[in-house]
Chains A and B, each alone.
Chain A
Amino acid sequence: MSDVHDAGDVVGPAGPVDPVAWTCPVPLRDHDRIVSGHGGGGRLSKELVEHLFLPAFGAAPDDPSHDSVVLPMPTGGRLAFSTDSYVVTPVEFPGGSIGDLAVNGTVNDVAMSGAVPIALSAAFVLEEGLELAVLGRIATDMGRAAREAGVRLVTGDTKVVEARERGGLTITTAGFGVVPDGVDLGPHRLRAGDQVLLSGPIGQHGMAIMSRREGLEFASELATDSAALTGLVQTMLAAVPGAGTSGVSSGVSSGVSSGSGGGGVRALRDATRGGFAAVLCELAEGAGLGIEYDERAVPVPPDVAAACAFLGLDPTHVANEGKLVAVVAAVDAEVVLAAMRAHPHGREAVRVGEVVDDHHGIVVARTGLGAKRVVDLPLGEQLPRIC
């Protein structure tokens, strides 16, 4: 992993205002127990990994914020591997269920490294009282999602625990795929001048869930955008010569001043928990570069915008399950964008911003009015405001 102190130093211009660099001899000094924010995908989650898990595990991965890890296989080639646990209330919601999420989420985590996912495991922790009809529908959703994603569900496990509230379930999936030769994606490949692309409108999944959450039902047509993105990723990688390769790509001479590091697609992230904003923050921190984007270029569906305004939430912090952010060499951005728009999961893809050699590690939004503001990781879980 990158040194935590270094990650803080790149905050630079902010001087004493240094949200990233603090480390403490007593990890997680503010809490002696887990609080819900530790699972929110924001700063608290990151701290839990950096201050508790990584030191305990000893071996730190190269990039702990990456959704999947790429490992060399003894027999040659490279394997992308990822795992995720899925807990969502309610378990069924407009457009999908926890079953779709458990398949598509892990498929996408693997796919973001450029790999083609092959197989998944699925482990179920079922609470007493869960209706079999519900579990049946969830399993059917998983089977369908796996077929659509082109992966097989090959092994699994089932445990039952005492009911905590009302018969919920947790699904943990793990998946792997093979990374094609020459493909190397990640924040380490970002260069100033690279373009930031977004595959479509944001906020649908999170707000679809919110619209059905107990005590918060509001009428809307919002449905989850849950989808496997393997096809979109492979289409993007195929669109440009030398796409995603770390070497000097054949025939592509970047016009950007610092256009080393190969052409094509530099990094991909699916904008799940923590939303679009969290993904940009991770990329900027991981690359040690700045990212700037136009607030008005980011598509937010009107019903998502309305629901967010009503609840006091920021759509850029709301989870998606079928959207990705791509950082692409400037010279290839148009071609990749066109390829995305030709794919069903990228039809509404847009260019939203660029990587800059300024305010390192920090994301800045250009507001609709023409001012600039810092974009931060959400701290913990998203909580509706008072008024």
Chain B
Amino acid sequence: MKYFDEFNDPELAHRQFAAIAERVTRPWAIMEVCGGQTHAIVRNGIDQLLPDEVELIHGPGCPVCVTPLETIDKALAIAARPEVIFCSFGDMLRVPGSHRDLHQVRSNGGDVRVVYSPLDAVALAEANPDKQVVFFGIGFETTAPANAMTVVQARARGLANFSLLVSHVLVPPAVAAIASSPTSRVNAFLAAGHVCTVMGTGEYGPLVERFGVPIVVTGFEPLDVLEGIRRAIDQLEDGRAELDNAYPRAVSATGNRAAQAVLAEVFEVCDRAWRGIGTIPASGWRLSEAYRDLDAEVRFEVADLQVEESPLCRSGEVLQGLLKPHECEQFGTICTPRRPLGATMVSSEGACAAYYQYRRLDVPQGA
């Protein structure tokens, strides 16, 4: 089928593997920024089939994984309030806060609902005027336009009972933070194709120049990922550092201007704490002054939060590409998807969950 079979074709894939093997002469480390790409790489075994010289480092691009614990605790506190209908994407439900997760809030009587589109939450607010409806708006630039539309529509419909709990994060500042880290081993980046579908590629040229690293905008099917890797290797072997778009069927240089206009109106850039990594300056979005009254953090005073991160969890190092999931002492022993210490073990896009799900047999004894 179009876009599935075509971009999974084994013969074409093996030609790409061969092309990469032919080109590579020395070790290179390439970071795929997006968790969706990590998932595709590990699920399909792309990293197993690449030449030994090519190492893939898994980046911080899992929105569930990097949402700060404090935000999750706030979400849990708001969701537990009797007047609230709390709406979230499905994979946030199992992310552990300090003491519980949204599933447990729901089983204790909280009204927590999985929605498939953020605008469903606005419809819920309209249908339940006696309730406060809160949508948990997280993610990268990809999910931001739809989340922004919730407050635009709530405002347009005069809904006083809708609010947004926002914890948006931005890819370019994270790439900059990793590239400028003295411990970073990354030689080239595969940028997240869907983020660029919204934002265009304009933010990445300056990063290429500033850090002298190739950045290749890359898609998500196996052949997309391989094409991104091949082009990155080409640049590295040539000694070039350029911005390249290997996902032109979805990404244009300008991106989606209509979406960008809504984002500029609804959000403003802020410093943001990334779970496991720390605060990265100007790396997030919060609601702009004009929409501050629809900010759930303003509407619900959530005080006395005792935020407790597991001292054993090393997801920060995993998210920065400093540690492979199975190199963590906790991996698969006390930290499993069943009982995750950190969010990287929860989300299907999290590197730890991907390794656990697909790679248990490869994990060496005593890892």
CA of A36 to CA of B101, assembled, Å: 12
Report whether A14 and B361 are in contact in the complex, using a CB–CB cutoff of 8 Å: yes
Report whether A369 and B222 are in contact in the complex, using a CB–CB cutoff of 8 Å: yes
Which of B10, B116, B360 has a CB less than 8 Å from the CB of A14? Answer: B360
Report whether B116 and A372 are in contact in the complex, using a CB–CB cutoff of 8 Å: no
CA of A30 to CA of B222, assembled, Å: 36
> Least Cβ distance of B159 to chain A in Å?
17
Report whether B42 and A373 are in contact in the complex, using a CB–CB cutoff of 8 Å: yes
Report whether B115 and A17 are in contact in the complex, using a CB–CB cutoff of 8 Å: no
Report whether B91 and A373 are in contact in the complex, using a CB–CB cutoff of 8 Å: no
Identify the closest chain B residue to A13 (Cβ): B361
CA of A304 to CA of B115, assembled, Å: 20
Report whether A14 and B363 are in contact in the complex, using a CB–CB cutoff of 8 Å: yes
| B-chain residues with CB within 8 Å of residue A371 when the two chains form the complex | 44-46, 48-49
Report whether B336 and A19 are in contact in the complex, using a CB–CB cutoff of 8 Å: yes
Report whether B138 and A386 are in contact in the complex, using a CB–CB cutoff of 8 Å: yes
Which of B43, B92, B108, B365 has a CB less than 8 Å from the CB of A16? Answer: B365
Stretch binding the partner chain, chosen from A77-85, A175-183, A263-271, A360-368: A360-368
CA of A55 to CA of B99, assembled, Å: 28
| Contact of B59 with A by CB under 8 A | no
CA of A37 to CA of B90, assembled, Å: 12
Size category, B interface: 35 or more
Report whether A215 and B115 are in contact in the complex, using a CB–CB cutoff of 8 Å: yes
Q: Given A17-B333, A368-B10, A379-B338, do A216 and B116 touch, yes or no (CB 8 Å)?
A: yes
Contact with A along B155-180 (1 / 0, CB 8 A): 00000000000000000000000000
Contact with B along A3-38 (1 / 0, CB 8 A): 000000000011111110000000000110111110
| Contact of A370 with B by CB under 8 A | yes
What total count of A-B pairs have CB within 8 Å? Answer: 148
Contact with A along B202-225 (1 / 0, CB 8 A): 000000000000000000001000
CA of A13 to CA of B361, assembled, Å: 6
| B-chain residues with CB within 8 Å of residue A36 when the two chains form the complex | 103, 106-107
CA of A359 to CA of B361, assembled, Å: 8
Interface residue tally for chain A (C-beta within 8 Å): 44
| B-chain residues with CB within 8 Å of residue A241 when the two chains form the complex | none
Q: Given A19-B338, A371-B48, A387-B63, do A376 and B357 touch, yes or no (CB 8 Å)?
A: yes
| Contact of A383 with B by CB under 8 A | yes
Residues from 339 to 362 in B contacting A, C-beta threshold 8 Å: 339, 347-349, 356-361
| B-chain residues with CB within 8 Å of residue A374 when the two chains form the complex | 357-361
| Contact of B143 with A by CB under 8 A | yes
Most B C-beta atoms less than 10 A away, residue of A309, A311, A369, A376? A369
| Contact of A159 with B by CB under 8 A | no
Q: Given A37-B103, A368-B8, do A16 and B332 touch, yes or no (CB 8 Å)?
A: yes
| A-chain residues with CB within 8 Å of residue B48 when the two chains form the complex | 371-372
Residues from 119 to 163 in B contacting A, C-beta threshold 8 Å: 120, 138-140, 142-143
CA of A255 to CA of B297, assembled, Å: 69
| A-chain residues with CB within 8 Å of residue B104 when the two chains form the complex | 31, 33, 35
Report whether B363 and A17 are in contact in the complex, using a CB–CB cutoff of 8 Å: yes
| Contact of A302 with B by CB under 8 A | yes
Report whether B357 and A384 are in contact in the complex, using a CB–CB cutoff of 8 Å: no
Report whether B45 and A35 are in contact in the complex, using a CB–CB cutoff of 8 Å: no
Report whether A15 and B367 are in contact in the complex, using a CB–CB cutoff of 8 Å: yes
| A-chain residues with CB within 8 Å of residue B347 when the two chains form the complex | 385-386
7 CB-based A-B contacts, threshold 8 Å: A31-B104, A215-B117, A370-B14, A383-B90, A384-B116, A385-B90, A386-B138
Closest 9 interchain pairs by CB? A371-B45, A383-B90, A17-B332, A373-B358, A33-B107, A302-B1, A15-B365, A35-B103, A386-B89
**Chain B contacts to A: CB under 8 angstroms:** 1, 4, 8, 10, 13-14, 36, 42-46, 48-49, 63-64, 89-94, 103-104, 106-108, 114-117, 120, 138-140, 142-143, 194, 222, 331-333, 336-339, 347-349, 356-361, 363-367
Additional A-B contact list (11), CB under 8 Å, known A36-B106, A369-B49, A370-B14: A13-B361, A16-B332, A16-B366, A302-B4, A367-B43, A368-B13, A374-B357, A379-B337, A384-B114, A385-B91, A386-B143
